[in-house]
């Protein structure tokens, strides 16, 4: 058995609530988002986990979620590495737009393709494959080696940057990953084998809130 990798999607943000495409924009967590981060942190505290290092994105909602989780597990001074490689998918021209307005402008079908296809990016933005193309090398060079050394690593990031990781860890096809939604603030605990494959996966909390 090697180390442990914990992935957490940030709590609900103000723009999630307003149904806006967020991407690399920087809205705050909502009250519910703070509550979700606290719930995830408490679940990790109850699980009895202690972290050696944390990684997060360059965006405030992920960093704030991480901060709340670390307060709950009593590790506020934990070494934390922030990198835009873990940022949410860049929605390009859609960023800041209401999803209903985007459908009115480009049509329901086109917006659905941008949101849900694996490799069709919105104008000026990234597809899920593009997001993975920056997340995977960062994971392989910065995060995975620590887990394989037996460390317990926390990653607080975003729906799409984490989906691209889950796709690899859970060995999902590009068709299968399209149906996967990660619940906000719900920790996923992966224990890895020495060859970097997954020995076990536990989801700490209720996945029914996935959206």
Binding-site residues for substrate, please?
9-16, 22-23, 61, 88-91, 99, 115-116, 159-160
Q: Which residues are annotated as a binding site?
A: 9-16, 22-23, 61, 88-91, 99, 115-116, 159-160
Burial class (CB in 10 A: 0-12, 13-18, 19+), 185: buried
User: 166: which residues sit within 8 A by CB, 6+ positions away?
Assistant: 7, 172, 177, 180, 182, 188
Q: How far apart are CA 46 and CA 69, in angstroms?
A: 12
* Residue whose tokens read 């901060």: 67
In the residue annotation, 71 being an active-site residue is answered as no
CA 11 to chain centre: 10
Report whether 40 contacts 155 (CB < 8 A): no
> Of 10, 36, 126, 158, which residue is the catalytic one?
10
> Token digits for 94?
């859609």
In the residue annotation, 88 being an active-site residue is answered as yes
Report whether 209 contacts 201 (CB < 8 A): no
To the nearest 5 percent, what fractions of the chain are helix, strand and coil? 45, 15, 40
> Of 36, 71, 79, 88, which residue is the catalytic one?
88
Report whether 23 contacts 90 (CB < 8 A): yes
Catalytic residue positions, numbered: 10, 88
């Amino acid at each position: 058995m090697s180390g442990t990798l914990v992935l957490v999607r940030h709590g609900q943000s103000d723009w999630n609530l307003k149904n806006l495409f967020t991407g690399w924009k920087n809205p705050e967590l909502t009250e519910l988002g703070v509550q979700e981060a606290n719930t995830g942190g408490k679940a990790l505290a109850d699980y009895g986990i202690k972290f050696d290092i944390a990684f997060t994105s360059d965006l405030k909602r992920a960093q704030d979620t991480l901060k709340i989780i670390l307060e709950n597990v009593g590790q506020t001074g934990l070494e934390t590495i922030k990198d835009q490689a873990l940022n949410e998918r860049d929605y390009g021209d859609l960023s800041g737009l209401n999803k209903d307005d985007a459908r009115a402008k480009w049509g329901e079908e086109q917006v659905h393709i941008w949101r849900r296809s694996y490799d069709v990016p919105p104008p000026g933005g990234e597809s899920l494959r593009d997001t993975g193309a920056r997340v995977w090398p960062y994971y392989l060079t910065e995060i995975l080696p620590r887990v394989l050394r037996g460390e317990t690593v926390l990653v607080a990031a975003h729906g799409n940057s984490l989906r691209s990781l889950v796709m690899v860890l859970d060995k999902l096809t590009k068709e299968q990953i399209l149906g996967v939604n990660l619940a906000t603030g719900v920790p996923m605990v992966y224990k890895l084998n020495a060859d970097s494959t997954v020995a076990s996966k536990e989801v700490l909390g209720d996945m029914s809130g996935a959206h």
